[in-house]
Structure 1
Amino acid sequence: MQKIWEQFKEVAMAIFPMAAVIIVLQYTVIGLPPELFFRFVAGVVMVGFGLFLFLVGVHIGLLPVGEMIGSSLPKTGKWSLVIGIGFVLGVVVTIAEPDVRVLASQIDQVSGGEISNNLLVYSVALGVGFFVAVAMARTIFNIPLKYILIVSYGLVILLMTQVPPNFVPISFDAGGVTTGPMTVPFILALGVGVASVLRGKSSTSDSFGLVALASIGPIFAVMLLGVIYG
């Protein structure tokens, strides 16, 4: 019960400042129509309640399950299975990420349907899945994170010279939205679980860096779309 109360306070402290600023602006500067302002207030209440339930669910279910899966996979001794399941989990968690859906719908509207909602979502999901698999391989074979990041971003810079300019900001935004409330907790818990078995619980350096790698995948995926559609 104490943890649930802490989640409630965390959500309230996250939403209240934004709501307070909008309310002050409403009565001093903006002057929105009453109907639209009422919709804003109702939206804040629903978002707050939904975010509260989501965070409770993350701490009750997602984090323990992700860490348990991560700690169970290395015990099989099949490294291909660890990498493969890391790829699958990266894909399915990204498909469920609400931030990715929002970005995809906006890009669908801006592009006039040329880049469809589902095409972007699944491309981003495959990119995340691939780099989660890379992150699993990095933990298994003890590859330094800096080398993977240098090579990956070097390839990103090369791709930037080959894609239409409008795909570059979309690709980096896609990398940002994958660090959302669904993907990050699960991937971090998965990495902590795998590293706790392979490197011991004291090895925090192997537990993190997964999100940094996962965010590169969407950049590659959207830039490849730019090469195809460009």
Structure 2
Amino acid sequence: MKQIYDQFQEVVMAILPLAAVIIILQFTVIGMPPDVFFRFIAGVVMVGFGLFLFLVGVHIGLLPIGEMIGSTLPKTKKPVLIIGTGFVLGVVVTIAEPDVRVLASQVDQVSGGEISNMVLVYSVAIGVGFFVAMAMVRTLFNIPLKYILIVSYGLVFFMLTFVPDMFVPISFDAGGVTTGPMTVPFILALGVGVASVLRGKSSTSDGFGLVALASIGPIFAVMILGVIYG
């Protein structure tokens, strides 16, 4: 019960400042029509309630199951299974990410349907899945994170010379939207679970860095789309 109350407090403290600023601006500067302002208030209430339910669901469902999967996989002693599961989970959790779908719908709109919603969503999802699998390889073989990041971003900047200009900002936006409320809790819990078994509880910090790696995958994916469609 205390955890639910803590989540409620967290949601109130997250939404209240924004709502307070908009209300102050409404009565001092903006002066929106009453029906628009009341829709805003109703939207704040619905967003707050939805966010509260989401955070409770994350803490009682997503985080425990992600860590449980992560701590169970290494016990199979099958690296291919661990890496393959990381890829599949990276793909499916990204497909469920609402931020990715918002970006995909915007790109679909501005490109006149040339880059469809589904093409972008699945491309980004495969990119995330590939780098989550890479993160599993890093944890299995104890590869320093900095080396993977240096090589990966080196390749990103190399690809900038081949990618049409309009795809560059989209690719980096895609890297940002994958670090959303669905992907981050699950992927982090998965990494901590794997690292806690392979490296011991004292080295669960090895499970972090997955989000940094996962955000590179969409950049590569969209840049490849840029080469294809450009």
TM-score, normalised relative to structure 2 = 0.98
Give aligned-pair identity as a percent. 84
Q: CA deviation at 1:31?
A: 1.4
Q: CA deviation at 1:219?
A: 0.3
Structure 2 match to 1:5:
5
Structure 2 contact 192–205 (Cα < 8 Å) conserved: no
Structure 2 match to 1:178:
178
What root-mean-square deviation, in Å, do the aligned CA atoms of Structure 1 and Structure 2 show?
Answer: 0.8
Provide the C-alpha distance between the structure 2 equivalents of 1:224 and 1:157, rounded to a whole number of angstroms: 13
Provide the C-alpha distance between the structure 2 equivalents of 1:218 and 1:81, rounded to a whole number of angstroms: 23
Q: What one-letter code is carried by the residue in structure 2 that aligns with 1:106?
A: Q
Deviations 1:168-217 (A, max 9, x none): 01100100011111100000000000000000010133110000000000
| Residue 187 in structure 1 maps to residue 187 in structure 2 | yes
TM-score, normalised relative to structure 1 = 0.98
Q: What one-letter code is carried by the residue in structure 1 that aligns with 2:45?
A: V
Q: What one-letter code is carried by the residue in structure 2 that aligns with 1:34?
A: P
Structure 1 match to 2:131:
131
Provide the C-alpha distance between the structure 2 equivalents of 1:29 and 1:89, rounded to a whole number of angstroms: 47
Provide the C-alpha distance between the structure 2 equivalents of 1:101 and 1:220, rounded to a whole number of angstroms: 18
Provide the C-alpha distance between the structure 2 equivalents of 1:110 and 1:87, rounded to a whole number of angstroms: 30
Provide the C-alpha distance between the structure 2 equivalents of 1:16 and 1:161, rounded to a whole number of angstroms: 45
Q: What one-letter code is carried by the residue in structure 2 that aligns with 1:51?
A: L
Q: Could you say what secondary structure the match of 1:204 adopts? A: helix
Structure 2 contact 19–44 (Cα < 8 Å) conserved: yes
Structure 2 match to 1:148:
148
Structure 1: gaps of 5 or more residues: none
| Residue 120 in structure 1 maps to residue 90 in structure 2 | no
Q: What one-letter code is carried by the residue in structure 2 that aligns with 1:155?
A: L
| Residue 103 in structure 1 maps to residue 97 in structure 2 | no
| Residue 64 in structure 1 maps to residue 47 in structure 2 | no
